[in-house]
Structures are given as C-alpha cells and as structure tokens.
Amino acid sequence: MPQISIEKDAAVAIVRFTNPPDGYMDMDTVAELTTMLDTVEGDDDVRAVILTGGLPDVFIRHFTIVALEARGRTFREAGATFDLSHPVPEPSLHTDYRRIEDSRKPYIAAINGTAMGGGFEMALRCDFRIVQDGPYHLGLPEINLGILPGAGGTQRLSRIIGQAKTLELTLLGKTLSPREAAAHGLVTECCDGPVLDRALEIAHELTTKSPHALAYIKRLVRQSELVAPTDGLAAERTLFADLVRRDEAIELMTEMNEGKRGIRDR
C-alpha cells in the first residue's frame, strides 16, 4: 500500500509518511517522495506544506539499514572504491531534499515522534521544525554503525546549531529529546499537545502572507551562508525593489499610511 498520503486543508497540504510497522524509509518511500513533490509543487492552490508521520510516535525512524547493508555488500563485492576527486552523483533522495529546501513554498516538519538518520535529515531541510514532546529520539547517530549522515546531515545540522554541537552529536552518535532539541535551537519549538495542530496554525498563518515575499525571504536566508556578503546584499536590494513595486505591497503600505493597519498586524 502507498506509504505517502496527501490531504489538503484549505491552502495547506498535509503529507503523511506511513510505513508500518516501524516507520522506516526505503526506496519505495523515495519514489513516492518524488511523486508527492511533483504534486504539491505543481499545485498553485497549495501555499504551505506540512510533513508529518502517519504512525503513532514516529516521524520517519530512519532509512532502513537492511537496504544500506545490501548496498554496502554490493559495493564491496564489485570492488568499488570512492575518492573525493570523483564525487558520487546526487541520487533522487538528495534531489528531493534539495527541492524542499529550494521550494518557493514554506515546508513545516511536524515531528510527531522519533526522527533519526534520513528522516531527521529531511526535517533539517524544512523551514520550520515543530516537535511534539515525548520519549522520542532526534538526531544523526549513524557513526554507531560505522557510517555517517549521508543525505546532507553534516552540512545542514552545523548551519543550524554550529560546528561544536554538531561534532559532539555526530561523533558520539548522540540523539536528543524534543526538549533538548528545542534548548539547542535545533527545532523551532517543542509543544505539549498534538504537533499537527500547532503546525497547522503556523501553516495557515503563512498562507496569509505574500507568496512572493515568502519565496524571496526563504531564498535569501537559505543562500546567506553560500554566497559572498556583497552578493547576498545585492540580491536582497534587488528583491526588495521587486516586491515594493507590486500591487499587494502598495495596497498594504497604503492601508498603514491611512491608519488602517500597523506593521505588526498579522
């Protein structure tokens, strides 16, 4: 049966990942992830996307180790060797994660349970990470199996919480509780109640914002550590000028100047 389902709540797409009994990610999940992204990215009525787990207490546990062991044995039996002078091409899973990060639409990870390895790496690509409090494990413990986070984890985690904490967690193979993740700034917030409810509140508020401004802000922030400061500032000036001349911005600014709204009104 399908592992990924899509439900629409007004302009919000709710995407659920379900792979019973344990909620692992596998190659079927990857294929469905690509199809899901084609659907929500191609739907102009979808203004925000929520990713969450369809099983109780599990977001995505991690990529199945059965498949990873089989891949490793195939490499070894073929006598394959790997060198940084010949980088491995980007597989479809990595392409899909990049699509989430680069999308003009905001993505929210509503983490309803354990999220490690590839599942946690997908959450790292989202713009908001809301986690439900509970006895859950969050992180990248791959070193405990003699491997490393292979879907962007080392790069994205360090940009969020810094190198020192990233090295501690990934070199020691430690995971964090939801409260610990919030304390380290790894998630946007930790909530006591059902995480999907809180994610929907945020998603619906996002759908009231200018889609052009959302896309531009997301692009500028995402690229802020990848480009030279002068290039980033030049892009910011240019996109600001593009927004300020649009009808939506002019109407809202006129309302403020006429005393009908304030800059903090949401």
Q: Is 7 a known active-site residue?
A: no
The catalytically annotated residue of 41, 69, 121, 251 is 121
Q: Is 142 a known active-site residue?
A: yes
Cβ contact 151:100 at 8 Å: no
DSSP 47: -
- Which of helix, strand or coil describes residue 249? helix
H-assigned helices in the chain: 27-42, 65-77, 92-102, 117-124, 153-161, 163-172, 178-183, 195-206, 211-223, 229-244, 247-257
| CA dist list (Å): 57 to 18, 120, 126, 228 | 11, 14, 19, 42
The catalytically annotated residue of 142, 180, 189, 255 is 142
CA dist 149 and 143 (Å) reads 8
Tokens 């994660």: give the residue.
Answer: 97
Q: What type of residue is 112? A: N
Active site residues: 121, 142
